[in-house]
Structures are given as structure tokens and as C-alpha cells.
Structure 1
């Protein structure tokens, strides 16, 4: 049976805007649905907190914290958050929908990955986490389940539900958050630790798992896994996959050092190490298929990892001695020429010409061979790895390789530390002549801009102004305002004038209009109720179905949503349900029955019972008459009087 058919939210329009189409996944804290934003006509993912948790303030605060944290991270490798709100008992996030699979799906189907595929996944993950770390946030729950791989090959980090500000003091009462296989030792010893290096550790474990197809510390119980994290180093991947380059062993060892101070200080630093490791590997090493890879997966032309686009900043090294093949072949063909047989004396002149030709061919071959040797060993070198090096370090490396710096340019970068190399021209790994020069591009750090004053602007105009300033419109929260018109911006977070990195998301608070106390119109005619509500500044909608009501006559308002005493915004809609009068039911005939039997029958039918004994019936026990004769109809819940004689 399709379990989505049993989900009450499927087919429901949440908050009057998001039509829930299907359930995607269920977690301990929330359920994720595929939905359509009916206002903007786009597919998105809707993360809805379980209603049982919505009453817990700490859970709601953590849920909203996720929205605010991710909304500020304008990064192509982070799943975006569009909106956050509530609808009755439902607290939800509207998020970017990524059609594809998770890294866990890839590992389950493919086993160990080729080094190139593992690095192609790791690098965008580190870029996303690096943006979070530089913004002051830590993910704290990195694992393959939270790495999404889109059908178009894009890699995105999801589920910032455990995100915590770096300087936040936590009180988790000993509860260990995160998944045990990816926990850093300090998270086990000090639950609630919030430091970028816990994400670095988890990424090292994920890299190990991608390279080997298995977790470094695996056991039947979580307690044993935690013990191994505390007391055992993560083994080198080459111990499981013989032949893996030592550069990958070093990368895993650096990221998973048990002492936090030994690890890279954040994901940006680990990303620089990952790129250096890639540059140091040959094409054959990058494309080597590990024995642990599932053969069926690699025979498939639609390998999920093969669609991951190559990083544009990673040059493709040329094959070693790729220009030698033709020259060496020519040399060997020429050097195998044999001396001709002796000729008669009368052909001596012709013989001399032949000898001269042979000598010239041999000299040409020798010259060509020397030229090949000269070109390959005496004239060319390769540009050394320079990314993430300071300008001084880059100059030293180039000088050691016999190269010079031709030009130094500067550019803004959100992920590369200020003062370090973003790129070089030619790129690292490229072949270049000895004593040639290399141009460097140095990071000036992230470009910062001031948040513009958009207060009082309509939401669409405010969004345009933010984009023109180099910022991204973030999460929209709606609030009442007596001063700001409905649909206009009340404030921004961060506030106007604050400096932020270009591309940062700015949260907007938009006016719902002035608050209105919804009047009570139950019991009124539809005409009177409509007039009262519209006079208060509200719109009216009449429900298509009427309800029976013993309290209100047919045509009167039996129910209203929102109810009396609620607060609504100017222009909000109140739905009215009209009464179709009381439900009429048949009255049982109880004449001749005992009083107890009569009362039991009438109450079971839905009536109240009153007794009329008079003077003669004080001691009687038999019903002699009833106010509504048996077989006739009366409103459900009305009172039937029985006469006792």
C-alpha cells in the first residue's frame, strides 16, 4: 500500500500557498514533501516538523534556527531555504527541491569510487561548508545522507538541522548529536562542541568511505564505534585499497586527526589540501577503479558519479611526454637504415651520392633525437601547486622550479583566504618552458556591500534593490504593522547599513497590514455577517457545505474561521459556514413503558428527557403520554416531556 495515501498533508494546500504532492522522506524531527508553490508555480521541498514536536519550544527554535542559518548562506552548493512559516499545528520550511540521489545511494550502489569521482564530490561539499564556516556556522551532522547529487551532476549539502553558531554555548545535557560513524572525538567527550573542525573530521571519514566503500570504524554497537573514534586513528585508505596514492592517505589522515589542533582549521583549508592532492595525482591514478567498486555499476554508461562536473579551477594535466611519441618513432625508423651493398667501380659516383644521403639521414636522425631529448628534459617543467599559498610562498615555489612571476592580480573570493592564491596562468600542473613566467591572482577575501534601505518598499521592489546591491533576498517573515502598508517591507535582518559579503542572503520582514480583532458573527444572517466583517477590513468566503445546528436556525452563521477573538490582518479572509437548521430525527413511542425504559430509549435517540408527574403521578412508574408523539420528528437534542400517572 502506498503510505503517502495515508498522510493527511498529501493533497493539502499548506498555509494557503504550498500544495503538497508527495512524501519524500520521514525523519525523527520532520517529514519532507515534494510540493508546488502555487504563487510562483515552482516545485520545491517542504520540510514539516512533526506536530507532536511543535509544542516543544526548543524543537521549534532549532527548526527556525536552521531556516535562518541556511537562508544567510547564498552558495550554489547549499540547499536553499525560500520561506518559513506555520499553519495551525504545522511548522514548515520551504526549500529548494533537488531531483537526484544522495551520496549514500551512490555508495550503496557503486561501492568504492574512483579517486577522481571522490574528489569531484568532496570539493563542492567543502566549498559549501567553507562558506558556512566563514559565515560563523558549523553543520555538525555531515554524512553521505546529507550530500545530494542532482540529476544534472550538481552537489549540494542539505539538512542544517544541527547547525550551530561557532560562538554559541550549548547545553545538551549529555546528549550526543550527529551520527556516531562521523563524530569527531571532541563531540563525544564534550557533547555540543561547535567548531568547524568537527565538520572537517566528518568530511575525512566521508572521503575514506568513498575511497574504500566502507566506514573506518564499524562495529555492531554504537558504543564500540564511539570508543574507536576516541582511541584509534582512522586507518589509511590504502590499507583497504592497495595502490591508492599516498597523497590521499595524507589527506584523510590530516582531516581525521584525533587532536583537533592538528586538523585543518576549517573546510576552506581542507579544500586547499584536497586540490593540492588532486594536482599531485596522475590521470591514471585519478581514474584507477578500486577492487571494491561494484563491477555492474562501472559497466553502466549512466554512472551516477560520472555526471558530476569537473571543477573549473582544476586543470587537466597533460599526459607525461605526450609530445614525444611521434618524434621517437621517427627517430627509431630512421636509425634502422642499413648500409647498401657494394657497387661495381663503374657506379662509384652514384655510390658516393648514396653514402652522402645515408650520412645525412643518420645525422638528421641523431639531431632529431637530441632535439627530442633537449625539449623533454632540458627546456620544459611543470607549474607547481600554488593554490591557497601566500604570495610569498607562491613566489618561492616558482623560483625553486626555475620560474618567475610575470604579473600579480587581485580578485574577490568567498572561499579563498585573503592574501592567498586563487589561480595562476598557466595553471598548476601545466607544462611550461624553463625560466618562463607565471601570472598570479591573489584573493582580496569576500567582497562586502552595505545592506540598502528597503523599508517601506513593496516586496518585489525590495528584492530587486537587494539584487542590484549584490545581495540575495532571503527568507520572508510576515508580521502585523499599524504603520507599514500590507505587502511592504518593515525591516531587514541584518538591518540597513550593515556590511555583508556580496551574495549573502538578507531576511525580510513584510507587513501583513494592521492587526484586526475578528468579530463574532455566529448566529447572524449571511448579509449581516458579511457587512460586519467587511466593515472591519476583512474579506468573506462562504463554505460550500452547510452544517446542522441545534443552536442556530437555517441560514444563520453556525461557524467561522478564524474564530471570534482571533487576530487577523487587514484583507485576510474569514470563512463562514451556514446552518441548515437542526437535525430532525424520529421520536420513539414510549407510552406504556416504565419511566426508566422510556428515558433510556429517548436519550439513546438523541433527546433530553423531562418528567411531568402532576399530583397523581408522584408514585407512578408508567408513561401515559409524551410531548411529541411517537413516530413524529423533532430536532436532535431537543427535550421530550413524558407524562407519568
Structure 2
């Protein structure tokens, strides 16, 4: 037989902070280890996603979702989540370490639980679940494996890996999620879950705790799913006659096939459970009724005997032969009376002592649970206080206070997040309450998303809050790809940024359409199709662009985004003017006149003799229409 290879995670230091000590459990999605937080010097449970799932975005999303869902809850019956992160290719989740067992292990050992044990456990489970429902979270994977029973008596709800924010109907996105034995009919048939689906799972758990078995069994998962969708869960007393009717009613109410007939959330079911709890506990005190045989002295002490009391006197004592005798003398009667009086006196002392003892115990118990260490005190709410003020409030309320820091994406550094147990709940007088002070959000490295698709950028920036993207024209970045990202201040996103900070992606919509040279109507239509506004400058003459066509298109914004304005300059056509008549004029005068009219002049007469020359010919001829700025050719002769 070969030994299993050692776990490579044992002894590893994760993220420079968590030293892995031993393995606690392994599941289909992750393995849980016992580790030491070297920074805060405390034991924690660290949940590490299996390496082969690291590239699966669905599993990574569920892993991060578990951290975010549990971190939103601060309740004594919910496992605390301290941290979540990525070390190389390994995603991890840090939770409080609770040495103990799960409800599943308890059921394996004891098969079924008493009604009182069931009530105690379900009170804690429903309290934690009520906090989740109040925060808008649906657990979606309630089962005995996810109920933790700590060695110190605490009961906590864990594993929010399938949790989702609740809406009127939260679709799973898959055919089935969670353990098949606890799935509600609506999850089986429609793949839709809300808080009432969690209530159904709670009802199935109660049935299993009271009877030692699940209501539906089958060889194939689909057989069990079919029963959930089509059958009503039977009363637990049909399997275990010792189950009280109050618990029968709660189980049947929680497991109705129609969600509208169940409690709307965990708080409603918890309130009903607590209403029934006194009757459940009192109904299980054993009561016996027996006939009592009392000797004469005792009969005199207690008064007249009841119908069920038989008094046996000396005259009725049977002889061995079976015949009663009555031989008591007067002396014997006097001795018996003296003995009875002494016995009554001694018994009176004992009764008085017993009464005093019971009274003292009752008074002590009342003090212990009413004002002493056993009393439950409401924990002050401290979320709006400074740490100093919160410490004073908790101390004045009679609690021992331990202060811890924790990163929080919403509460600023130095401010109080909450307490554990949470403010407003109850805890024993003199017990320790943890004051949680924010370190502010974690500062994360910002990945480079330029050139990525929008979906890829959203995934890379999943730990930040992504606002609606901004569209922008770009000739360099293809349409649909990311140009860059902006922070909350509207500036380019820096290399590090706070967790959950606001991020806005700038997404390319391609280049601004070129419209130079197009007819005005076509150019305007093309720009408006690109969601751009159009303005016009004064039209200009253009020797190169046809009349009523665009000469220039100027951008009035930088950068250009949909809704920005493009200013068009339209051609008035060529600038034609009449050519002046310069034939017969001195060459120098002719040159000056033509240039003043906006023409260029060329001639072949030597420069040294221009002053002595007269124009004999011009081309184009006088009065001809020519483009302003074109060239006029002159022919000159020497004047004698």
C-alpha cells in the first residue's frame, strides 16, 4: 500500500500573510485549510479554489461572489469572511476558523435529534438566514453540510458560494444548483430562486433532523427532483410519532410546493418558531401520576388524603396468617403519638430548609439571568460613531471590547464598520464584543485594458465598480475595443486604485467619418448617422472643390465623442473675374495692374529693358473670364 503524496499547500505562505498549517476539508470547488494570519497573529480558515478551475470564469465569479455575499453580513450566526484575493494563479478566501463539526456529522452520529435540539439549531440557522434575507441575499445552497457547530456552542451558517442578490425572481442561469435533496420545486421546474426557496431547504433540514431521514429518496437525482416538483412533503410525525404537532405545522408550512404559501422569508419563520418554542419545551416535561401510600403521621402532616391516597394504619397491618389484629395498648398509643410529634417537628425543619434553599436558588437564578453575568444585553449600534465613542458605548453597556481592523470598500479608513456580534443583537453581559474598524478599501493593482474587448476589460476590472462606458471616436483603436479607463475624478486611471472604486471605460466607435469633397447633403447625412452634430462656416471660393461640396470639416472637440460637433466649409465654386485689357500699356504698368486684379504674370522680356517695353499681346485676351490667381502671359516689344 503506497502513501498518499504530501499536500504541496502545507507550509506555503499565501500572499505574504497566511501560513498554511493543515488541511481541514476538500470539496468539489475548493479545499479548506487551517492557516495562521501572520499579520494579526490569529488562526483562520483559508479556502483555496482548485487549480484546474482557475481558468473557468464561472467558478472564479462564484468564488468572488461568496466573499462579497458573506462580507455584506455581520451576524453572530454567519461565518465571518475576513479577506479575499489572488496569489499568482490561486484564488483564495479567508474566513474565521471554527473548530467543531457540521450538522451533517452530528446527524451521522445521532441519526435524529430531539425536538428541543432541533429548535435550538434552527433558531440559530434562521437568525443567520434572516440577516442574509434582510441584506437582499438568497443563500441557495442550504444543507446540513453548511451548518457549523463550533466546540464553544456557537452555531453558524456558511458557504455562500451560490448566493445571489435577491430580486422578485432570481434565475440560476443553470438547470439546477445546490444539493438535489434540498432543492425547492420552483428551482427544479423553472430554475428560479428567491428567499422562499431557502425556506423550503430549511423545512427539508428540519424534517431530516426530526426523523433521521430525508423526505424523498431515489436511485437517480432526477427521481428525487421529480418528487420535489410533484409531491407534498409529509409530516415528520408520520415517520416519528414523538414529533410535536407544532413542529409538524412548521415543517409543512415551510415545504409547501407553492412558494406563495410558504413564509416570505427567514424572519417570518423564525418569529413563528419562537412563538411555538415555550409550548414545545413545556410539552416535553415528563409527567407521571401514581397512587401514593402515606403513613398516618404523614397523612396528618399533609392533611386529608386524596382519592388516590390510601392510609395504612396499625389496625390494617396484616398478620402472617392473613388476619388483621388490633392489640395496641394505651401506653403504645402515647409512645406512638410522642414519636409522631418528634417526627413531624424534624420534618418541619427539613421542609423549611428546603423552602429557603429553593427561594435562594430562584433569587440567585433571577439575578444571574436578569442582571448578572447570565443576563442578555442589547449591543449598542456603533456604525455612526468614532472608534473612541464606540468603545465607550460598549464598555458602558457592560461588554469586554476587542478591537480589530478590516478592509472595507465603502467605510472610510478609521471609521467603525460594525461589531461582532452586530449592533442591535443581544449577547451575555460581560462577554467580549469585537469592534471592527475600517482600514479603508484595499488598494489594488490596475490591469491594462487598452485594446481589450469590453467583456474582457469588465472581467479584468471585476473588483472595481464599473460605470456606464463612454464612447469615443478613434482612428487608431478598432470599434468595440477599449481606448482607456477613467477614475472617479475623470482623469486617466492610475496604476493602483481602491477596491470597488468607480471606473469608466472609454470604448472606441471607430474614426470620425471623412466627408471632405462630398456633396453637402451626403456629408451631413453621413455625420448624423455617426451621431455627430453639424454646423457650417461661411462658404468660400475653391478652385479645387466643386460648388456645393465640402472643402473642409473641422472638429470642435478633442476628443470627439457622439454628440460632438463638426463644422463644414462649403465651396462656392471657382472665383472667376474678367481679365483687364493691358495691350498697348507699358509692360511695368501692365504687370502691376494684373497683379492688383489677383492674377500672376509671366513674360519673356529681359528684366533690364522692362521699363522700355510696351505690351503687344496678352493671353487670355482682354475681358475674358479667368480664375483669380491664374497666370496671364504677356508679349512685349521695345519702345524706340
Structure-2-length-normalised TM-score: 0.51
CA distance in 2 between counterparts of 1:62 and 1:325 reads 71
1:509 to 440, 445, 448: 440
Instruction: Describe the superposition over 1:70-104 as per-residue Cα deviations: whole angstroms up to 9, x where unpaired.
Output: 22322222111111121111121111111121111
Shift of 1:501: 6.4
Q: Does the CA contact (< 8 Å) of 1:67 and 1:93 recur in 2? A: yes
CA distance in 2 between counterparts of 1:240 and 1:513 reads 55
Aligned residue for 2:193, secondary structure, equals coil
CA distance in 2 between counterparts of 1:276 and 1:321 reads 29
Q: Greater CA deviation, 60-69 or 331-340?
A: 331-340
Q: Does the CA contact (< 8 Å) of 1:85 and 1:92 recur in 2? A: yes
Shift of 1:506: 7.6
Gaps of 5+ in 1: 287-316, 365-424, 427-444, 455-460, 480-487, 518-565, 570-645
Q: Which residue of 2 aligns with 1:249?
A: 248
Q: Does the CA contact (< 8 Å) of 2:34 and 2:97 recur in 1? A: yes
Aligned residue for 2:74, secondary structure, equals coil
Shift of 1:467: 8.2
Q: Which residue of 2 aligns with 1:402?
A: none
Q: In the alignment, is residue 206 of structure 1 matched against residue 205 of structure 2?
A: yes
Q: Does the CA contact (< 8 Å) of 1:36 and 1:42 recur in 2? A: yes
Question: What are the equivalent positions in structure 2 for 1:197-236 lying under 5 Å apart?
Answer: 197-236=196-235
CA distance in 1 between counterparts of 2:162 and 2:296 reads 60
Instruction: Describe the superposition over 1:545-591 as per-residue Cα deviations: whole angstroms up to 9, x where unpaired.
Output: xxxxxxxxxxxxxxxxxxxxx9689xxxxxxxxxxxxxxxxxxxxxx
Cα 1:63–1:278 shift into 2, 3 Å: same
Instruction: Describe the superposition over 1:100-127 as per-residue Cα deviations: whole angstroms up to 9, x where unpaired.
Output: 2111112122212222222222221112
Shift of 1:509: 3.0
Aligned length: 394
Shift of 1:145: 0.6
Cα 1:13–1:152 shift into 2, 3 Å: same
Q: Which residue of 2 aligns with 1:278?
A: 277
CA distance in 2 between counterparts of 1:329 and 1:278 reads 43
CA distance in 2 between counterparts of 1:50 and 1:514 reads 24
CA distance in 2 between counterparts of 1:508 and 1:58 reads 30
Q: Which has the higher contact order (CA 8 A, sep 6+)?
A: 1
Q: Which residue of 2 aligns with 1:25?
A: 25
Shift of 1:262: 2.1
Cα 1:188–1:493 shift into 2, 3 Å: farther
Gaps of 5+ in 2: 300-304, 317-324, 345-365, 368-377, 426-433, 449-493, 498-640
Instruction: Describe the superposition over 1:486-523 as per-residue Cα deviations: whole angstroms up to 9, x where unpaired.
Output: xx96698989xxx9968997865346599999xxxxxx
Q: CA RMSD in A?
A: 5.2
Question: What are the equivalent positions in structure 2 for 1:387-466 lying under 5 Å apart?
Answer: 450-451=383-384
Shift of 1:203: 1.2
Q: Does the CA contact (< 8 Å) of 1:19 and 1:37 recur in 2? A: yes
Instruction: Describe the superposition over 1:335-365 as per-residue Cα deviations: whole angstroms up to 9, x where unpaired.
Output: 4446799999xx9xx89x99xx99x99xx9x
Question: What are the equivalent positions in structure 2 for 1:64-75 lying under 5 Å apart?
Answer: 64-75=64-75
Instruction: Describe the superposition over 1:109-161 as per-residue Cα deviations: whole angstroms up to 9, x where unpaired.
Output: 22122222222222211121122222222211110111111223322111011
Q: Which residue of 2 aligns with 1:137?
A: 137
CA distance in 2 between counterparts of 1:102 and 1:258 reads 28
CA distance in 2 between counterparts of 1:151 and 1:258 reads 36
Q: Which has the larger radius of gyration?
A: 2
CA distance in 1 between counterparts of 2:89 and 2:97 reads 23
Q: Which residue of 1 aligns with 2:107?
A: 107
CA distance in 2 between counterparts of 1:35 and 1:494 reads 25
Aligned residue for 2:124, secondary structure, equals helix
Shift of 1:263: 1.8
CA distance in 2 between counterparts of 1:176 and 1:325 reads 67
Structure-1-length-normalised TM-score: 0.50
CA distance in 1 between counterparts of 2:447 and 2:180 reads 50
